[in-house]
Amino acid sequence: MAIIAVEKLCKRFGDVVAVDGVGFEVGRGEMFGLLGPNGAGKTTTIGILCGLVRPDSGTIRLDGKTDPTRPDVRASLGVVPQSLALYDELTAQANLEFFGRINGLAGRRLWDRVAACLDLAGLSQRRKDRVATFSGGMKRRLNLVCSLLHEPAILLLDEPTVGVDPQSRNLIFDTIEKLRSDGRTILYTTHYMEEAQRLCDRVAILDHGKMLVLDTVANLIAQHGGISHIEVGLDEAPGDPEELASRLGVGDLGLEGKTIRFQTREPAQALATLNQCGVRYKTLKVDTANLEDVFLNLTGRRLRD
Amino acid sequence: MAKLVALALKDLRVLTADKGNVFWVFGFPLLFALLFGAVYAGAGKGPSGMKLAVVDEDQSEFSQLYVTHLESEEALKVSRVDREQALTQVRKGWIAAAVVLRPGFGDGFSGFFDANNPKLQIASDPGQKMQAAYLEGLLAKAQFEVMAKRFRDRQWMRGQMDTWRGEIQRASGPLGTDASVYLRFFDSMDKFLTDVNDQTYQGGLGNGVLNVAKLDVQQEYDGPRTPFQITFPQAILWAILGCVATFAISIVRERTTGTFQRLRIGPISQADILAGKGLACFLTCALVIGLLVAVGKLVFKVPIGSWAMFLLGAVCTCLCFVGLMMLVSTLGKTEQSVGGAGWAILMVLAMFGGAMMPLAFMPSWMRSISHISPIKWGILAMEGGIWRGFTLPEMLLPCGVLLAFGSVFFALGVLMLRRQ
């Protein structure tokens, strides 16, 4: 049964249609991605899900409850906002204690959860330092764990890696993957296709408020990603290039010295065929399709345009 | 309730983390109270003595005795100068008046009572009649006391009578038949001065000082007993204004940094968030009032007429300004705009409300306008408990106005916040 169910969600700000008939379901324990360029409607959708924005139409169901503007419904949510929402004047520990209390924690459980979250963010050594002294990455990690204090069933992450250095980004990914392995349901918005591809079980691609497609990453690439480009450096030139092309199932096999080039929708299958044919190769370069290609093929634009 | 307290405590921690905030909320009002308290205290005491220049043109033994006597007078600050300097100083307003002892001033009684050619001159501004009259009184008193000293000197008295006897004997015409009466009187007096013993003579003249018995009667006075009773309510209002500005800016900061949004997506209602802010502002105002009152009471001995009425006034004032804080926080979308617009409005309210200058010192048109400033009512409510001696029914007006102001401000603030 879906823990998040969104149906025909619409939201308009004046003349701008921010969300236009978006609908999806997220299963318990699933990691679901909302992928799209800036202005696609991802943050508005998150805003509606956490009760900050009232939709013009459409329905939402969060763990069986329908109205996220009610505080008790939001109690099952953990929301990581896009902007850093921390008190710079306070220490990391004081921030966590405060947000823990706001989420209803107290006493021993509060202290345990604060310690666990500091550990998860890799900030235990800096817990007594003011947030103002932290790097951008440290603030991002703290921003993330502030939403985990009450161990919410549903986690909404709104572009949690914006402006983060690679090291902190990997730490955030590790944290998210750990949460996912713990069975947490995660809705993740991003405009970085690599993140969606790495982390998400299923991805919905949004553009101009509309949901273009929704499927697993593999299926999206297979269906909308287009062909992969393969370049193989052989030990020796093939004796019969036409037969090799026929066995690979490609119409056009390029041959330049000992290097062959071809395009295929199924690169894994093509490489297996090369092995079956006893072709020995020194180098292999596979440019597979990705979600960027999926978006490009669906909209004619790049994600970061 | 635990969430409200958490919100309030968090705000207090954020507030105290910034030394600038701490100064404006706690330090500045205290300095204000001390500075203006000291100023008003000085003003209340009045001048320590009338500045008087004395020109001794006579340079006689008597004139010098007279000047020395004036110098010993507590109500006067005497300087000895020449005539030109004295008149210049009076003209410039550097001194209140000048006294000139003309030649012949020390020539016995004639020096004093010569109506045609007075030997004592007073130079003062004709517009300062009360001051001149006050000075004449002091001069007459000095004259009397110096003369009394002379009377104690029997030799001088006998010499003086010899002089008068000679003048009468040389005189012709009008004195006529009365001359023998005067001469007989002087003879009798001379015999008396010769025969009387010192103890009897001195005792008969008393101590030679114009003795006035003083009865201490405490005037019934319903005004402040110390200037700090005026400046501490003002300082409290300044502290509260500091809280208002600080918390209004903190609300905007919460909105611009996203923490307000983070709170809104937590399991807490928006009403609770605003109530938490209000509670934090209220607690800070109460804390700063407590601190100022403690300093006022312990260090400056500021009397509090009625603690109950004072607390009532303080609570109503805090509630009113919590509402104002909410409204001020919606005056802009950035910390700079709210800080600027907020302080501009608060300064105007402070100016017309009597936080800068006591209402009593203001022109009547400003006092009329002051009714629209909650600061006026805040000061009045607290003064009601400190020195005005308000009863509960009398407290209802300022407290009611404060609560009404506060409710309107709070409602407007919440309305505008929701629109934003």
Given a cut of 50, is residue B46 above it in pLDDT? no
For residues A199 and A211, is the Cβ–Cβ distance under 8 A? Answer: no
Say which residue the tokens 């009398």 belong to: B394
Partner residues linked to A80 by β-bridges:
A157
Positive or negative torsion for Cα B62, B68, B71, B72: negative
CA–CA distance, B418 with B410 (Å, rounded to integer) = 12
Nearest to A151 by CA among A76, A84, A101, A71: A76
End-to-end Cα separation, chain B, in angstroms: 27
- What pLDDT does B399 receive? 94
Average pLDDT over residues B179-192: 81
Nearest to A90 by CA among A38, A37, A52, A127: A127
Sequence-ordered alpha helix ranges (H) in chain A: 42-49, 71-74, 92-102, 107-120, 136-145, 166-181, 193-199, 217-224, 241-248, 267-276, 291-299
To the nearest whole Å, the CA of A82 is away from the closest chain B CA by 9
Q: Do A103 and B263 touch (CB under 8 A)?
A: no
- What pLDDT does B337 receive? 86
Mean pLDDT of chain A: 86
Judge whether A89 is closer than 8 Å to chain B, CB to CB.
Answer: yes
Q: Do B265 and A99 touch (CB under 8 A)?
A: no
Q: What is the 3-state secondary structure (H, E, C) of A38-70?
A: CCCCHHHHHHHHCCCCCCCEEEEEECCECCCCC
| pLDDT tens-digit series, residues A263-299 | 887 888 888 888 888 888 889 888 888 888 888 888 8
- What pLDDT does B108 receive? 65
User: Can you tell me the ipTM of this complex?
Assistant: 0.77
Written as one string, the DSSP assignment of A65-110 is B--TTSHHHHTTEEEE-SS----TTSBHHHHHHHHHHHTT--HHHH
Average pLDDT over residues B72-96: 87
To the nearest whole Å, the CA of A43 is away from the closest chain B CA by 13
Which of 246-265 (B) contact A at CB < 8 A? 257-259, 261-265
Given a cut of 70, is residue B214 above it in pLDDT? no
Average pLDDT over residues A119-128: 88
- Return the number of other C-beta atoms located less than 10 Å from residue B278's C-beta: 24
pTM for this prediction: 0.67
CA–CA distance, B89 with A47 (Å, rounded to integer) = 80
CA–CA distance, A92 with A84 (Å, rounded to integer) = 13
Q: Do A90 and B10 touch (CB under 8 A)?
A: yes
Q: Do B13 and A90 touch (CB under 8 A)?
A: yes
- What pLDDT does A114 receive? 94
- What pLDDT does B109 receive? 65
- For A103, which residue in chain B has the nearest alpha carbon? B267
Question: Looking at beta carbons, which residues of chain A come within 8 Å of B263?
Answer: 102
Given a cut of 90, is residue B311 above it in pLDDT? yes
Given a cut of 80, is residue B202 above it in pLDDT? no
Question: Looking at beta carbons, which residues of chain A come within 8 Å of B274?
Answer: none
Res. B262 pLDDT band, cuts 50 70 90: confident
Given a cut of 60, is residue A305 above it in pLDDT? no
Q: What is the 3-state secondary structure (H, E, C) of chain B?
A: CHHHHHHHHHHHHHHHHCHHHHHHHHHHHHHHHHHHHHHHHHHHHCCCCEEEEEEECCCCHHHHHHHHHHHCCCCEEEEECCHHHHHHHHHHCCCCEEEEECCCCCCHHHHHHCCCCCCEEEEECCCCHHHHHHHHHHHHHHHHHHHHHHHCCHHHHHHHHHHHHHHHHHCCCCCCCHHHHHHHHHHHHHHHHHHCCHHHHHHHHCCCCCCCCCCCCCCCCCCCCCCHHHHHHHHHHHHHHHHHHHHHHHHHHHHHHCHHHHHHCCCCCHHHHHHHHHHHHHHHHHHHHHHHHHHHHHCCCCCCCCHHHHHHHHHHHHHHHHHHHHHHCCCCCCHHHHHHHHHHHHHHHHHHHCCCCCHHHCCHHHHHHHHHCHHHHHHHHHHHHHCCCCCHHHHHHHHHHHHHHHHHHHHHHHHHHHHC
Res. B291 pLDDT band, cuts 50 70 90: confident
Percentage of chain B with pLDDT > 90? 11
Map out the domains of chain A with their CATH numbers: 2-222 (3.40.50.300), 227-288 (3.30.70.100)
Question: Looking at beta carbons, which residues of chain A come within 8 Å of B264?
Answer: 51-52
Judge whether A87 is closer than 8 Å to chain B, CB to CB.
Answer: yes
Q: Do A87 and B269 touch (CB under 8 A)?
A: no
| pLDDT tens-digit series, residues B63-81 | 888 898 888 888 888 999 9
For helices B335-353 and B307-328, angle between their N-to-C axes, nearest 10 degrees: 140
| pLDDT tens-digit series, residues B318-332 | 999 999 998 888 888
Given a cut of 90, is residue B404 above it in pLDDT? yes
**What SS3 class is residue A266?**
coil
Question: Looking at beta carbons, which residues of chain B come within 8 Å of A106?
Answer: 2
